[in-house]
Amino acid sequence: MPEERAGFAAPIIESDRLALSERLRKAREYVGLKQEDVAKHLEIHRSALSNIEAGSRKVEVLELTRMAKLYQRPLTWFTSGETDTAGSDLPTEVAHVARAAASLSKQDCQELANFADFLRSRAKTRTSSNG
């Protein structure tokens, strides 16, 4: 009965912890960081990060917040798999690129835009040559 009181959530289910740990590992690998790099950033032992990613150690809120910033993902992506593009029709990958581009220099943003134009023209060329 105590956990049914208003304002109290049920305990985290093991599958939730494993899903969180998997998202953390995938995000770290996606941005190309080693466990050692992240552990230094968080000021924890590498083995502690390894245990977090394995789901055998709980991650503290402050650690999760710092990882979200480091991995350039919204907190909700880790906790529920949601993106921060609510109300937007942007695919998850596009939203990720936009978040990453937000911290780039003006010159790098222009370079990214040029690369996007290149990819778009390459796709058109492939479509017209295949059709």
Give the model's pLDDT for residue 1: 45
Q: Give dist(CA 53, CA 27) in Å, integer.
A: 11
CA 96 to chain centre: 8
How many other C-beta atoms can be found within 10 angstroms of the C-beta atom of residue 86?
Answer: 8
- The reported pTM is 0.57
pLDDT of the chain, 131 residues: tens digit per residue:
444 455 555 565 888 889 999 999 999 998 899 999 999 999 999 999 999 999 999 999 999 999 999 998 888 888 876 654 444 567 877 877 887 888 889 899 889 888 888 888 888 777 766 65
- With tokens 């941005």, the residue in question is 31
Measured between alpha carbons, how far is residue 99 from residues 18, 32, 41, 77 in Å?
Answer: 26, 16, 20, 13
User: Nearest-5° angle of CA 51, CA 54, CA 55?
Assistant: 90
Q: Give dist(CA 20, CA 12) in Å, integer.
A: 11
